Amino acid sequence: MSKDNSEQSAQYNKIFIEQAPTAIAMLDKDMRYIAVSQRWITDYKMEGKEIIGQSHYDIFPEIGDDWKANHQKCLNGAIDICEEAPFKRADGSIQWIYWDVRPWYVSEGEIGGLLMHTGDITPQKERERERARMIEILDKTNEVARIGTWEVNLSTNEVYWSKMVCEIHEVPENYQPQLETAINFYKEGESRETIQRVVNEAILTGQPYDVEVELVTAKGTSLWTRAIGSGEFVDGKCVGLFGIFQDINKGKLAEQALSNANAELNAIFNSKSVAIITTNDKGVIDHFNHGAEYLLGYSADEIVGTKMPFVFVKMEEVERFRQDLFQKYGKDSFKGLAENNEFDVREWTYIKKDGTKITVQVTLSPIKNEDGEIIGSLTVASDITAIKNVENELLRKNQVLNFAERLTMIGNWQWNTVSNEVRWSSNLYKIFNVDEETRLTYDTYFSFVHPEDKEMVTNHVQYALEERKFPDLLHRIKLRDGTVKNVQLLAEIMTNDAGEVMELVGTCQDVTEQRMAEIKFRGLLESAPDAMVIVNEAGKIHLINKQAEKLFGYTAKELIGQSIEILVPTRFSKGHTSHRTDFFTNPKVRKMGEGRELYGIDKNGKEIPIQISLSPLKTEDGLLVSSAIRDITTQKLAERKIIQAKEDLEVFAKKLILKNNQLADFNHITSHNLRAPISNLNSLLGFYEISENEEERIELFQKFETVIHHLTTTLDTLVEALKIKNENTEDVLEDIELYPILLKTQELLSGEIMRTGAVIVSDFSKMPRLEYNRIYLESIFLNLLSNALKYRSEERVPKICITAGIENGKNFLRFTDNGQGIDLKRHGHKLFGLNKVFHRHPDAKGIGLFLTKMQVEALGGSISAESEVNVGTTFNINL
């Protein structure tokens, strides 16, 4: 290219650069400006400055060596491009720019200088920085507000949760939920049903939702959340859901707490137990709650807006209130309370509408506005009339107690084991004859303990501190003037939460006189010839004498404090406790030898026959019982000999009675069991007399022989049967087939059966055999069958049905007939009684059913009857 062409090209470039819309500068090899665009001047604030011909580094002295080095590389043919970089200007401001620096050529291979194309992107960077700052603020806000985002792709059923949503659900950040599993996080019941409903509505109708529901996290934490969601639709079809999710648990709980607090406040304000009264700045009552109405008897309508509190308070108490606050604050009472943010609590006397006066506990507070100005007052009052009455009663009882202490020579005391501080009641000072101004410690008390009792007291106190219990302690004290007294100490031990002893509280009684009386009583007790045991109402042994020690083998120390049952054999212990309780309920003297046979038991477990006399004793310790106990072992041996002789006579008498009973039974059974066969013989004899031919007579004669044979057998076995009844029937049980028994009975009654035309049906298929006493079984069949024939109905042919079987695991026999029947309502109670008859039959003796019942019950069975008059009777026998 010629020089003219190069110059012309350079001139064109200069014109192009100057008119370019962007910041462009053209520099020569020495980095001096040849041309710049107007935008360059504007971007770098060069208005009014001469730039052309100036060095780039003079114009921008703030350019560092690193940029200069890059420029040199470009002058050697390199290209330097940067999308953004901060450019710190000489005035300290930061300008963000981008650049494209490359060489321009004069001719091929010859560099004429550099072309710089730059842009000021500071506004853009500031917007990006502002956006980043806003995003950061939003993220922090979301973190503080615990808000996260979520999305659901309905085509894949995939759910996206932001970091905060995962944190709220207490799952890892990489947790991948499905729509169903996400919904299952919501608490089962109303919350889950709500979220399912709104999600379905959003999918079906596009209805956005904003609900508060309860969530159960992966770790089981229950919390309240706010779920906001909306559907994303394409071509009218919901393809996804998106929204935000917020943890509102703290706010929800605070809201609930506020609601509860408001409810509690309303409950308090509307409570009948507390009167709440407020006044305005004029002193006129503007609030008068239900409690105030209940307390004072006025209605709110009568008071609010028209009355001041003076209507129900005593003016002298108002004046005293004002004086008290004036002395405290030196100014108007209410202003003093308000300025010090204090309130006044005191007792007032209120006058109810009906004129009744009551004592109330009142808290009075000023009400101030935001500027601290008094705009009214708040009075909270509760009726303490009952409490005051109790306090007065306690004061009266305390006075009575002090009087009682003086009468009973009792004082009370407290010992703080931590500070060693001791407190005595007034009467205790008098017992020890000590001035009430004396400073007390444990050593003060111990200095009065009798020298001979000091070791005992020390051991007792040490035991009490270690075991946390203080048994009663009786010891002597020696006063300063040498007087010796007996005192009894009772105490309770107080401990802290760690079980450490903090304090002992108790009583001390001067029992000198009682002790002297006890010594005298002890002397009388020891002089008694019998063993003496004294017992209190709890059944504890209070005192014994030497004779009791000798009788039972225990020492007094071993028995005192023990239950009296220690001296009672185990077999009598339970009953003895109830007898002892009954005696203390109705105490009276019981002489020696009265009552049941008694036994005691000694230390070695040997039982001792004894006689006891009891005497109740009323003492200051309550009711005691004095027992005089006498060993009657020798007397019992003599009694046994007499009893043995008596028993021998009784055995002999029983044998005589047994023989008489056997004779009586024999008489009854013989007369009954022989009556049926003999009656049968008479019937056969009648048939024999009217028989018309020899064949009939032969047949009847054969029946005569059968009946006579059975009658003989019955006579032979009756005596043995009687012995079995009175001795042991179980020894003669045998396996018996039932049908032969029935057949034998029919043969015995054949005459009566023929005469009456009776039909006898039996069914022994379910129990053909039976283990039983044969004689009893034959007697049972004979009695019941003969009765069925004897008491047949004249209106129908006798029919008798006999069955046997097993019901509920038990063998049974059942005899059913269609005879006259029995009126059980009238005769049921005496059905099986001896000599009891229920029909006007000439042969009725009242023995058969009585014997049958005895025979059944002798082997542990039972018999009962069902009957209806003119229908028939059924006898049920359980064997």
pLDDT (tens digit per residue) in 473-486: 999 999 989 999 89
Question: 448 or 729, which is more confident?
Answer: 448
Q: Please, which pLDDT band fits residue 280 given cuts at 50, 70 and 90? A: very high
Please compute the mean of the pLDDT values over residues 157-183 and round it to a whole number. 88
Give the span between the Cα atoms of 633 and 142, in whole angstroms. 100
Give the span between the Cα atoms of 347 and 698, in whole angstroms. 128
Please check the confidence at residue 30 and state whether its pLDDT lies above 90.
yes
Give the span between the Cα atoms of 285 and 283, in whole angstroms. 6
Give the pLDDT of residue 750. 86
C-alpha 518 chain-centroid distance: 51
Please check the confidence at residue 717 and state whether its pLDDT lies above 70.
no
Give the pLDDT of residue 872. 94
> What pLDDT, in 10s, does the model give residues 749-802?
888 888 889 999 999 999 999 999 898 899 899 989 988 988 899 899 999 999
Give the pLDDT of residue 134. 67
Q: Mutual orientation of helices 738-748 and 675-690 as an angle, nearest 10°?
A: 60
Give the span between the Cα atoms of 863 and 875, in whole angstroms. 7
Please check the confidence at residue 213 and state whether its pLDDT lies above 80.
yes
Q: Mutual orientation of helices 694-726 and 633-673 as an angle, nearest 10°?
A: 170
Please check the confidence at residue 1 and state whether its pLDDT lies above 50.
no
Give the pLDDT of residue 733. 85
Q: Please, which pLDDT band fits residue 737 given cuts at 50, 70 and 90? A: very high
Give the span between the Cα atoms of 574 and 409, in whole angstroms. 41
CA distances from 690 to 683, 687, 694 (A): 11, 5, 11
Helix or strand (DSSP H, E) at 800: strand 799-807
Please compute the mean of the pLDDT values over residues 303-325 and round it to a whole number. 90
CA distances from 584 to 269, 572, 580, 595, 650 (A): 56, 18, 6, 16, 40
Go through the domains of the chain in sequence order and give each one's CATH number.
3-126 (3.30.450.20), 146-249 (3.30.450.20), 271-383 (3.30.450.20), 409-514 (3.30.450.20), 528-631 (3.30.450.20), 727-878 (3.30.565.10)
Give the pLDDT of residue 201. 93
Please check the confidence at residue 243 and state whether its pLDDT lies above 80.
yes
Please check the confidence at residue 10 and state whether its pLDDT lies above 80.
no
> What pLDDT, in 10s, does the model give residues 382-416?
888 888 888 777 777 666 555 555 556 688 899 99
Give the span between the Cα atoms of 29 and 368, in whole angstroms. 84
Please compute the mean of the pLDDT values over residues 281-299 and round it to a whole number. 90
Q: Taking a C-beta distance cutoff of 8 angstroms, is the pair 122, 95 a contact? A: yes
390: left (phi over 0), alpha (psi -120 to 50) or beta: alpha
Please check the confidence at residue 540 and state whether its pLDDT lies above 60.
yes
Question: 206 or 665, which is more confident?
Answer: 206
Q: Mutual orientation of helices 848-858 and 633-673 as an angle, nearest 10°?
A: 130
CA distances from 453 to 414, 432, 457, 477 (A): 21, 16, 6, 8
> What pLDDT, in 10s, does the model give residues 80-117?
999 888 988 888 888 888 999 999 988 888 899 999 99
**SS3 of 614, please?**
strand
Q: Please, which pLDDT band fits residue 186 given cuts at 50, 70 and 90? A: very high
| % of residues, the chain, pLDDT over 90 | 28
Average pLDDT of the chain, as a whole number: 82
Give the pLDDT of residue 80. 92
Give the pLDDT of residue 499. 87
Give the pLDDT of residue 692. 67
Structure tokens at 597: 């046979």
Give the pLDDT of residue 428. 87
Q: Taking a C-beta distance cutoff of 8 angstroms, is the pair 442, 422 a contact? A: yes
Give the pLDDT of residue 460. 92
Please check the confidence at residue 258 and state whether its pLDDT lies above 80.
no
> What pLDDT, in 10s, does the model give residues 163-175?
888 999 999 988 9
Structure tokens at 341: 């943010």
Q: Taking a C-beta distance cutoff of 8 angstroms, is the pair 274, 382 a contact? A: yes
CA distances from 763 to 527, 742, 777 (A): 86, 11, 17
DSSP calls for 266-285: HHHHT-SSSEEEEE-TTS-E
Q: Please, which pLDDT band fits residue 662 given cuts at 50, 70 and 90? A: very low
Please check the confidence at residue 744 and state whether its pLDDT lies above 50.
yes
CA distances from 631 to 592, 636, 835 (A): 11, 10, 55
Give the pLDDT of residue 235. 87
Pairing of β 607-619 and β 622-631: antiparallel
- Other CB atoms closer than 10 Å to residue 244's CB: what's the count? 18
Give the pLDDT of residue 54. 92
Q: Taking a C-beta distance cutoff of 8 angstroms, is the pair 780, 813 a contact? A: yes
Give the pLDDT of residue 845. 62
Structure tokens at 256: 């609930």
Q: Mutual orientation of helices 848-858 and 694-726 as an angle, nearest 10°?
A: 50
> What pLDDT, in 10s, does the model give residues 586-634?
777 766 455 567 888 888 988 888 888 888 877 766 788 888 888 888 8
Give the pLDDT of residue 630. 86
Q: Taking a C-beta distance cutoff of 8 angstroms, is the pair 671, 742 a contact? A: no
Question: 727 or 409, which is more confident?
Answer: 409
| % of residues, the chain, pLDDT over 70 | 81
Please check the confidence at residue 714 and state whether its pLDDT lies above 70.
no
Listed range (127-141, 253-267, 362-376, 862-876) with the worst mean pLDDT: 127-141
Quick one: CA dihedral 29, 31, 32, 33, positive or negative? positive
400: left (phi over 0), alpha (psi -120 to 50) or beta: alpha
Q: Taking a C-beta distance cutoff of 8 angstroms, is the pair 277, 287 a contact? A: yes
Please compute the mean of the pLDDT values over residues 628-650 and round it to a whole number. 76
**SS3 of 235, please?**
coil
Please check the confidence at residue 652 and state whether its pLDDT lies above 70.
no
Q: Mean pLDDT: which of 121-135, 263-277, 848-862 is highest?
A: 848-862
Angle at 356 between CA 351 and CA 359, to 5 degrees: 60
109: left (phi over 0), alpha (psi -120 to 50) or beta: left
Instruction: Pick the closest to residue 542 from 440, 622, 596, 606 (CA basis).
Output: 622
Paired strand residues for 293: none
Q: Please, which pLDDT band fits residue 548 given cuts at 50, 70 and 90? A: confident
Structure tokens at 91: 């005035």
Give the pLDDT of residue 724. 45
Give the pLDDT of residue 102. 93
Residue 849 CB contacts under 8 Å (≥ 6 apart), including other chains: 783, 787, 831, 832, 836
Give the pLDDT of residue 405. 56
Q: Taking a C-beta distance cutoff of 8 angstroms, is the pair 34, 26 a contact? A: yes
> What pLDDT, in 10s, does the model give residues 833-856?
766 666 666 665 667 788 888 888
Please check the confidence at residue 304 and state whether its pLDDT lies above 60.
yes
Give the span between the Cα atoms of 739 and 769, in whole angstroms. 9
